[in-house]
Amino acid sequence: MTSFFNEVMSNDALRRELESRHGAQATIVPNPFEHLAAPAIESPQSADGKVTILFSGAVYHVNAGAFRNLVAAMALPGLDRITLHIYTAQSSGELATYGILGERVFVHPHVPPSEAAGLQQRADILFLPYAFDSTVPEIVRTSTPSKMSDYLAAARPILVHAGADALVCDYFRAHRCGIVVDRDEPAALAAAILGLLASPELRAELANRARKRALCDFDPDQSRMRFLSVVAGSSNDAPPRRLPT
């Protein structure tokens, strides 16, 4: 069985993987963020003192282990104010089969991108997880999920929890626009969260850097122009080669 290959990649790691495997050239078109008004850099915590950690997107084997670590971290001393809010198409029953459940874990239905972006702007911490025990390590190693650009644009502190070789860890370390926990340990997550909560200056610094990276790397207008340029160029070329699937 064959399929047409669309020579557009969302990041450089995928481009290199494609060129290594198939010798095909690709153009990088980053996943753009949702276009909303610029958010406030620092928003207050809720009136009742609760701290919201938010995730929006699919929860499955590629990231479930990282969620289990977060749930375990929330039970450690000092984190009794933490609440985890997950906006996903998966049900609470499905998440429970992965061990993602608890009195302070709230599962909400999937919401459209514009609504998700607003929720992200009002969260205290945004969670970007990948499992350490995934059966598809190549996906973890090369993925930059579409939510990443929205997280950056939201100008909130981002907590990345994934293995050290994950592309998302490389990105957030290089640009210092989030906190990276690359150890498969709930205690390490707990320490990172406590550090964030203890330092308004750090939260504001991370939020500023995140917003700047969104504008630099994931601007919707730039991505649109690059994609249209690729489409226009392809229309003048021979039909794309077929690759085996």
pTM for the structure as a whole: 0.80
Mean pLDDT of the chain: 83
- 240 band by pLDDT with thresholds 50, 70 and 90: very low
**100-129 pLDDT per residue, tens:** 999 999 999 999 988 999 999 999 999 999
pLDDT score of 244 more than 60 = no
**183-213 pLDDT per residue, tens:** 999 999 999 999 999 999 999 999 999 999 9
Query: How would you write the chain as a 3-class SS string?
Result: CEEECCCEECCHHHHHHHHHHHCCCCEECCCCCCCCCCCCCCCCCCCCCCEEEEEECCCCCCCHHHHHHHHHHHCCCCCCCEEEEEEECCCHHHHHHCCCCCCCEEEEECCCHHHHHHHHHCCCEEEEECCCCCCCHHHHHHCCCHHHHHHHHCCCCEEEECCCCCHHHHHHHHHCCCEEECCCCHHHHHHHHHHHHHCHHHHHHHHHHHHHHHHHHCCHHHHHHHHHHHHHHHHCCCCCCEEEC
Instruction: Name the residue ranges covered by the structural domains of the chain.
Output: 2-32+220-244, 51-217
pLDDT score of 26 more than 50 = yes
What pLDDT is recorded for position 34? 73
pLDDT score of 234 more than 70 = no
Pick the CATH number of 51-217 from 3.30.2350.10, 3.40.50.720, 3.40.50.2000, 3.90.170.10: 3.40.50.2000
- 24 band by pLDDT with thresholds 50, 70 and 90: low
